[in-house]
């Protein structure tokens, strides 16, 4: 593997880079089982928001939000959060998870029922006149069922939808979450370095073979699962932003775009690197260096309080200014954590600002239909004002011929 041009990037100078054959290829992610997750503190932060929503209790039914607030990972659950204090908080799941809920959420009183949200609405109605629910999660049919259960229990009580309260809390990562994100990124970094070192990214291989080899290496490096279906897109397929791997054979001179991630203890990584096989054309170098410049500008724009649209514009203006604006067809990035795509979204239509300690991706691209495309993506954490964002994905971004 040869570096054709260096990425003289001040943001990247400090952290060590992962390249094929480097010491990181033998690394295996380990999780500190003694780490204490502040679930109770998270519930208290949510509790403080309920009065402003005009509700006395909140039924949380999104399973990712349940996990964030309680640690419980079963497939059927809901939480009841009481504005008055933690004594009346409850977690509900069904009989399959009696042992699991006791192990994962020992600080919460468990209620065992099949229809968890309805059971907690009925329980809350005994004390609270206004009960909140996650309006963006509950379907119309589910809402009707909740209202029927509420009417049966306390006809005068009210059921009120609230906004994305837990998702807003999840935007700001605590130190334990950042460490898990760092581990997930490391698993992906060393897996990519390993397949390149072993000659598995080469002409004659298929997109699907490369994708499966990379996924296997992520598991071998400590991933619990993969973040999403790995994208390996070669030649003209690299111009398709979310191409799914096929039996297309990699060929000499191809651009190969690889978008992938690992999950460690529920937390996702997300990274894209684009390589050229054997030899490069001038147009490939041109769009690669342009995307690299845009990606650098986007990363440099990450700071607490930055307008999300302004962050997107910092990268987009570079590509627009070079005449490739129509070939950049998606937003700059998104939040990442317990879900691969979570708040905040960074794009032309985004609303809001970046909070400190948000974990986000920066991933501009240029896609030339029928020819090929380039995307470069990192996962980073927004740090305090005046400090550079923390780069979590360490694989080198220099223009590289494999």
Tell me the per-residue pLDDT of 102-133, one tens digit each, with 9 for 90 and over. 999 999 999 999 999 999 999 999 889 999 99
Q: What is the dihedral of CA 120, 125, 128, 132, to 10 degrees?
A: 50
Q: What is the pTM of this model?
A: 0.92
Could you give the C-alpha distances from 297 to 73, 144, 364, 365, in angstroms and in order? 38, 48, 10, 13
The pLDDT, as a whole number, for residue 25 is 44
pLDDT in tens, 32-77: 544 589 999 999 999 999 999 999 999 999 999 999 999 999 999 9
Pick from 352, 345, 363, 356: nearest CA to 386 = 356
pLDDT in tens, 178-237: 999 999 999 999 999 999 999 999 999 999 999 999 999 999 999 999 999 999 999 999
**Close Cβ partners of 130 (under 8 Å, ≥ 6 residues apart):** 54, 55, 56, 157, 158, 160
Average pLDDT of the chain? 92
The pLDDT, as a whole number, for residue 194 is 98
pLDDT in tens, 71-93: 999 999 999 999 999 999 999 99
- Kindly report the backbone phi and psi dihedral angles of residue 179, in degrees, each rounded to the nearest multiple of 5, phi listed first: -65, -40
Contact 358, 285 (CB under 8 A): no
E strand spans, 18-116: 57-60, 77-82, 90-93, 109-112
Domains and CATH numbers, the chain: 2-33+174-401 (3.90.230.10), 39-170 (3.40.350.10)
């Amino acid at each position: 593997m040869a570096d054709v041009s260096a990425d003289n990037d001040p943001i990247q100078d400090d952290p060590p880079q992962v390249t094929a054959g480097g010491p990181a290829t033998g690394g295996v992610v380990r999780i500190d089982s003694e780490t204490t997750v502040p679930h109770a503190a998270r519930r208290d932060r949510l509790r403080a928001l309920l009065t402003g929503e005009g509700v006395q209790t909140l039924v949380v039914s999104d399973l990712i939000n349940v996990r964030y607030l309680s640690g419980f990972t079963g497939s059927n659950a809901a939480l009841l959060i009481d504005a008055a204090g933690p004594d009346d908080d409850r977690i509900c799941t069904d009989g399959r998870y009696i042992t699991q809920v006791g192990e994962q959420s020992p600080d919460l009183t468990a209620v065992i029922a099949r229809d968890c949200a309805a059971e907690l609405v009925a329980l809350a109605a005994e004390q609270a006149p206004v009960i909140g629910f996650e309006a963006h999660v509950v379907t119309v049919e589910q809402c009707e069922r909740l209202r029927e259960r509420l009417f049966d229990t306390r006809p005068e009580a009210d059921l009120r939808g609230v906004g994305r309260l837990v998702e807003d809390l999840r935007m700001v990562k605590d130190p334990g979450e950042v460490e898990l994100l760092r581990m997930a990124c490391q698993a992906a970094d060393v897996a990519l370095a390993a397949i390149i070192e072993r000659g598995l990214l080469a002409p004659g291989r298929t997109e699907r073979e490369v994708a499966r080899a990379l996924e296997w290496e992520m598991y071998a490096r400590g991933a619990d699962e993969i973040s999403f279906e790995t994208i390996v897109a070669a030649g003209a397929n690299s111009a398709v932003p979310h191409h799914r791997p096929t039996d297309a054979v990699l060929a000499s001179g191809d651009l190969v775009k690889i978008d992938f991630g690992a999950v460690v203890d529920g937390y996702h990584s997300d990274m894209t690197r684009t390589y050229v096989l054997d030899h490069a054309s001038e147009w490939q170098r041109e769009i690669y260096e342009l995307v690299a410049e845009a990606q650098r500008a986007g990363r440099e724009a990450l700071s607490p309080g930055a307008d999300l649209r302004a962050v997107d514009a910092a990268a987009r203006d570079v590509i627009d200014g070079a005449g490739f604006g129509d070939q950049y067809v998606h937003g700059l990035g998104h939040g990442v954590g317990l879900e691969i795509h979570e708040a905040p979204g960074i794009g032309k239509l985004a609303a809001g600002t970046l909070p400190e300690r948000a974990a986000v991706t920066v991933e501009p691209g240029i896609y030339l239909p029928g020819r090929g495309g380039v995307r470069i993506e990192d996962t980073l954490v927004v740090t305090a004002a005046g400090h550079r964002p923390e780069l979590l994905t360490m694989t080198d971004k220099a223009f590289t011929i494999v």
